[in-house]
Structure 1
């Protein structure tokens, strides 16, 4: 027993070490409740009033969540620790040594987040892999089959297994792979920590949502369904959108619209840029009659030709705006471009903004808006100071930091709710979003233009509950234009943004020559090649529309990384340039850098869409794809229903399908409704099952929608 006797100095030293290793904690005991099937909420202390879920009005799709297989965490939920100290709140979540992590919103600079420090902050020009992004979320997912969401709008830093605590244990140099050379010092070979730590400065408490799998895809489904289900855009929004030059006048817009129809180039939406307003920085939200003398005539005449009009704006209100006086006392205490910053956290302010848009634009036939500048100034530059500061205050009580994180989300919510209340669907553009955004049909875009990053953002969008638009502007070469066009066609929104181009980019890739109307010698050929890609996009609409229906009803992201479908395949853990479209298409876009690339096909059999060649999964292939071909591979067992391409989608449009069958036994589904209203919420839709077996194709239609928009013209068995 003598070895357990402590002298006074030893006891004092032990007590001192214990105090140093313990973090001072105050507040309430952690409470765990189940708030939806497979979703548990941990509550500790006093959570902030203005947290992301407090603004989520959509109810969880409980019935759909109950249909998912029961999940089980790889750890005891009671091992999640939240500590309140004088700095704020620190949340620690167990982490296995071989666990892979994804998420934190629409990340640009990284994919697999294991071992990184991430700070998902809204920013207009993301920097490296720090976490700055147009669409930050405090949600991450594990390939072990669960998701963790810290329900806060404060700037939060996540240490993704990148730190190890001082427990008092002695660690030798051998254990740390230590050394004294410069190479050793910078090698950073220390083992990853067994925790994910989330640091939330300033918080006095927090809510933590745990989404149980049992696999990665199921965990993401629970998050999307808990958010109210994924968005189903208006079906015309899945066609092609073209934004005209910023200084175009009404006659210029009509001329461009006529050109597209005369040359049979599919376009559904025409976007007007800033000069449609009397003042744009800040905004008046008033038509510039010098440029658009009769806006109603434009809207109506374009509608007759099958076009929808989308208006550019941002939310900072100029003194010349009719909104200025009503919002003056319902805005933040700092201006942006001398304009008011509406307090979108205040329902009254949000309603004022929304009502004006409804009465001035939406009732006149404007189909959607491009909501710009709702992210923050570039945090990587000291002279980027255009936005409101973090110490701003708003009448609702929210501060500038929290408002930045929520601003884009609340902005799109205000506009979207008007369309929903009018039973009219839309497809919006937005430059920032946030947590619990799944139900909003708003495609995020960016002023960045790196093609590799744009592809990576498609894969990351599936972990964010967001829609990403890798728009096409000018290009370095014709090859660059075509590769970017392929990616746009294989994304959630096919968008050409010609806000600084007089002519379509396929007529002249050089900006200066384009604006001097000096077209390329082979402009007609390039246009024909682009038309071929856009025709494929229009052929793909029924398949894409069904993928969004699966997003809404089942929470399955329409565009997602391979690891979501194959979470146990180590070879896909770091593949960020391939992704699934729906359940049957694997896309592997190319950039102008090369005419060929390596493509890994997961377990199973796949077919090269362009050649029909059958390929065994679990292997990596070197493939080449022509500029007018699509870099996609079709999973065995899939029926790919491709429609005869339309130049635009109208309420009367019918889709004539050719069903391509991959495998001896195959099936797929289609979602059929009017495509423009929310009547599907009242059961006005059909589920169509296409099946093929024993050399025969079958169509089974069930539902209450009375119009058949899809007809199968023929079946083609791919050998």
Structure 2
């Protein structure tokens, strides 16, 4: 009897401690796969993942030029475990640590405490992980990043749950008597659940959060380098416009003096849409080759709306049918674009009927969701990849494969897409959607910089002239300056009372092209996102009094678990190396702006604005508040209606702000081809210094022999002293 009792106790002990070991998991083994980038494998990863779908190639040369660093976390505190066919991961968090990222969020910048299910979908108004780019990459305020390379719907508990065996477990408190009670007890970990029996995980060192973001961007191919015209102004016309109406609209832009670099055609350019034929409608566009050529001769490119769902009347329907999914979308068949043969048939139509006649790019719609129209998760694809995996990667596949059409012709493209994911950093596409909240658009722009994607806060229609101008001001300081008038038919001059202000903003976008082009070159070559959160800016300090929700602002009747918390900075951002942008929203006559440490100056006047403080400004309707850090250099060109053509020289004015000596690397290439990949580019050194007589002087390095040189005459404007001279 005693023997049986001891055996029973021994079995229970084994079961108990064995179960505890499974819960705790194991510390993975890490291998440095690139400078400052470590990889581990937990369990048996699936053959198809985000990086394979994207096909991205790490920029190891650029990574090797970053500062040497060490493994940024305690290896013993990272755990991975496989159980029930699922992989769980656990990464430690410090008490004051904040985390950012997990894709394109629209309402929140601080992700600590969030519970997310990362799932490609049209954004539905809640930050729950269902979004256009649910990138499984997060950045810590401690200066490291984590990327989970899985094409599955991933569950994230971003510092929202506490383990009983945690070394820093929260203290139980009495809500009735303890003023330190909180509805969100301290959690010391980010925990992630991947619904597969294994996964690859990458860890990116800093030492700063921006360095970690840069390493991720470089590891996933570096940011795109758009053609110069892509950074100009674009108008998407009404969905049923004819060729004559499109041409008339382009002529109206020129006549009224509004810039226009590319024009977007919506579904009506096709003979049938929803599902699509990908054929020109010969009634609305009887001579598409002539139409595209004539617009090109005016300096205006053509961009075409598509989604990938094939109509039975499409010329590719029969050939692509064997490579399509079991379910349809709008009665159109869904190509399995992970199969090369499917891509050859599908994109062959695009090459022949669009790209070969001069079309410059695409707006690829509806590869994100909603569930009610996209393929369900029971769908079967001939490749054998699950419907879930295809949902998570379809945006990557259409970007990669469509961009390849233009690379074949040695010409760059720049377009729009509705879905992306981890690994898609290098693709020349900007995300957009059908949601239309101005404030949330700016939060999304801020969050895009954490996840290797681009986002445009486009303008469509407005109820008032004030709203229209405020939206235009935001798009001017974004990755794509776009009016999307597919439904409303809105024009830049639709509100006459602010038409001149809109024009001046659009021309400012054009004047700033040397700066925007250089900042995108930095994204490409060194991984620095051109638009990013204040949290990534060196010297940024959150002022507790200004940024904390007070107890008096908490409504316990409405939400019994509400409490005073730190506010997020989600209405101002950095644009390039030197600019701080603070949009104004409808109804605002003034706003608060948080200036990082260091002197900051008004972009328009050069006047001193402040240093590490919260300021209140009332800029008037015609201006969006913009500030330049001390020593900042902003290269500008004359206002013009179209971007410079390939090889065309342009005069530049170099502005310097503040009292620090300035230094800037101005990028130059032919503006349109991929010849820069063969070394046909330069970074020209710009320097400014104050002379012994107190006057400022600037210099720019000479162009390199045999390299592109599109810079004409150079003039200088020292904004603090307002002195001018010329080289």
Report the TM-score, using the length of structure 2 for normalisation: 0.90
Q: Secondary structure at the match of 2:137?
A: strand
Count of matched residue pairs: 687
Contact 1:70 1:214 in 2 (8 A): no
Aligned counterpart, 1:544: 516
Contact 1:684 1:703 in 2 (8 A): no
Q: Secondary structure at the match of 2:512?
A: helix
* Structure 1 residue 585: Cα displacement: 0.6
- Whether 2:172 is the aligned partner of 1:176: answer yes
Pick one of 145, 148, 151 that aligns with 2:149: 151
* Structure 1 residue 702: Cα displacement: 4.8
Aligned counterpart, 1:557: 529
Contact 2:605 2:719 in 1 (8 A): no
Aligned counterpart, 2:672: 676
Pick one of 474, 478, 488 that aligns with 1:501: 488
Aligned counterpart, 1:23: 22
Aligned counterpart, 1:270: 263
Contact 1:473 1:505 in 2 (8 A): no
Matched ranges for 1:21-170 at <5 A: 21-23=20-22, 30-167=28-165
Q: Secondary structure at the match of 1:456?
A: helix
Aligned counterpart, 2:621: 627
Q: Secondary structure at the match of 1:121?
A: strand
Aligned counterpart, 1:451: 438
* Structure 1 residue 686: Cα displacement: 1.6
Aligned counterpart, 2:352: 359
Aligned counterpart, 1:515: none
Contact 1:274 1:312 in 2 (8 A): yes
Q: Secondary structure at the match of 1:348?
A: helix
Contact 1:602 1:617 in 2 (8 A): yes
Contact 1:244 1:497 in 2 (8 A): yes
Contact 1:41 1:210 in 2 (8 A): yes
Whole-angstrom CA distance in 1 between matches of 2:119 and 2:715:
50
Q: Secondary structure at the match of 2:286?
A: coil
* Structure 1 residue 76: Cα displacement: 2.0
* Structure 1 residue 581: Cα displacement: 1.1
Render the CA deviation track for 1:363-403: whole Å, top value 9, x for unaligned: 1000001000010215xxxxxx1110112121111111111
Render the CA deviation track for 1:602-625: whole Å, top value 9, x for unaligned: 011110113322133210000122
Whole-angstrom CA distance in 1 between matches of 2:21 and 2:67:
40
Whole-angstrom CA distance in 1 between matches of 2:420 and 2:485:
23
**Could you say if the C-alpha distance between residues 654 and 618 of structure 1 is closer, same or farther in structure 2, counting changes exceeding 3 Å?**
same
Aligned counterpart, 2:204: 211
Whole-angstrom CA distance in 2 between matches of 1:503 and 1:129:
30
Pick one of 290, 294, 302 that aligns with 1:297: 290
Whole-angstrom CA distance in 1 between matches of 2:706 and 2:105:
39
**Could you say if the C-alpha distance between residues 592 and 653 of structure 1 is closer, same or farther in structure 2, counting changes exceeding 3 Å?**
farther
Q: Secondary structure at the match of 1:457?
A: helix
* Structure 1 residue 30: Cα displacement: 4.0
Q: Secondary structure at the match of 2:569?
A: coil
Whole-angstrom CA distance in 2 between matches of 1:276 and 1:485:
26
Contact 1:177 1:190 in 2 (8 A): no
**Could you say if the C-alpha distance between residues 348 and 426 of structure 1 is closer, same or farther in structure 2, counting changes exceeding 3 Å?**
same
Moved more, 600-609 or 122-131: 122-131
Whole-angstrom CA distance in 1 between matches of 2:683 and 2:540:
32
Contact 1:177 1:189 in 2 (8 A): no
Contact 1:106 1:135 in 2 (8 A): yes
**Could you say if the C-alpha distance between residues 24 and 217 of structure 1 is closer, same or farther in structure 2, counting changes exceeding 3 Å?**
closer
**In angstroms, what is the RMSD of aligned CA positions?**
2.5
* Structure 1 residue 167: Cα displacement: 3.1
- Whether 2:685 is the aligned partner of 1:689: answer yes
Q: Secondary structure at the match of 1:120?
A: strand
Render the CA deviation track for 1:283-331: whole Å, top value 9, x for unaligned: 1001111111111111011011110000001011111111211211111
**Could you say if the C-alpha distance between residues 540 and 211 of structure 1 is closer, same or farther in structure 2, counting changes exceeding 3 Å?**
same
Contact 2:108 2:568 in 1 (8 A): no
Aligned counterpart, 1:194: 188
Aligned counterpart, 1:698: 699
Render the CA deviation track for 1:204-238: whole Å, top value 9, x for unaligned: 11100111111111111111111111100111000
**Could you say if the C-alpha distance between residues 476 and 704 of structure 1 is closer, same or farther in structure 2, counting changes exceeding 3 Å?**
farther
Structure 2 unaligned residues grouped into runs of 5+:
548-566, 721-727
Q: Secondary structure at the match of 1:344?
A: coil
Q: Secondary structure at the match of 2:698?
A: strand
* Structure 1 residue 549: Cα displacement: 0.5
Pick one of 638, 652, 657 that aligns with 1:657: 652
Render the CA deviation track for 1:148-192: whole Å, top value 9, x for unaligned: 0111010001111110113399999xx3234479x999x853422
Whole-angstrom CA distance in 1 between matches of 2:6 and 2:568:
55
Q: Secondary structure at the match of 2:427?
A: coil
Whole-angstrom CA distance in 2 between matches of 1:704 and 1:352:
44
Aligned counterpart, 1:478: 465
* Structure 1 residue 589: Cα displacement: 0.8
Aligned counterpart, 2:476: 489
* Structure 1 residue 467: Cα displacement: 1.0
**Could you say if the C-alpha distance between residues 398 and 256 of structure 1 is closer, same or farther in structure 2, counting changes exceeding 3 Å?**
same
Contact 1:601 1:617 in 2 (8 A): yes
Pick one of 548, 562, 587 that aligns with 2:581: 587
Contact 1:684 1:704 in 2 (8 A): no
Contact 1:134 1:433 in 2 (8 A): yes
Whole-angstrom CA distance in 1 between matches of 2:568 and 2:22:
36
Report the TM-score, using the length of structure 1 for normalisation: 0.91
Q: Secondary structure at the match of 1:251?
A: helix
Whole-angstrom CA distance in 1 between matches of 2:76 and 2:319:
49
Aligned counterpart, 1:529: 501
Matched ranges for 1:297-336 at <5 A: 297-336=290-329
Moved more, 400-409 or 702-711: 702-711
- Whether 2:231 is the aligned partner of 1:246: answer no
Matched ranges for 1:458-473 at <5 A: 458-473=445-460
Contact 2:655 2:719 in 1 (8 A): yes
Q: Secondary structure at the match of 1:333?
A: strand
Render the CA deviation track for 1:560-609: whole Å, top value 9, x for unaligned: 11111237734498312211111111111111130211000101111011
Whole-angstrom CA distance in 2 between matches of 1:655 and 1:625:
31
Contact 1:176 1:190 in 2 (8 A): no
Whole-angstrom CA distance in 2 between matches of 1:482 and 1:261:
20
Structure 1 unaligned residues grouped into runs of 5+:
1-5, 379-384, 509-522
Contact 1:344 1:410 in 2 (8 A): yes
Whole-angstrom CA distance in 2 between matches of 1:461 and 1:671:
23
Whole-angstrom CA distance in 1 between matches of 2:337 and 2:487:
31
Whole-angstrom CA distance in 1 between matches of 2:310 and 2:460:
28
Moved more, 31-40 or 645-654: 645-654
Q: Secondary structure at the match of 1:469?
A: coil
Q: Secondary structure at the match of 2:147?
A: strand
* Structure 1 residue 706: Cα displacement: 4.2
**Could you say if the C-alpha distance between residues 83 and 499 of structure 1 is closer, same or farther in structure 2, counting changes exceeding 3 Å?**
same
* Structure 1 residue 704: Cα displacement: 5.3
Whole-angstrom CA distance in 2 between matches of 1:95 and 1:654:
52
Matched ranges for 1:605-616 at <5 A: 605-616=599-610
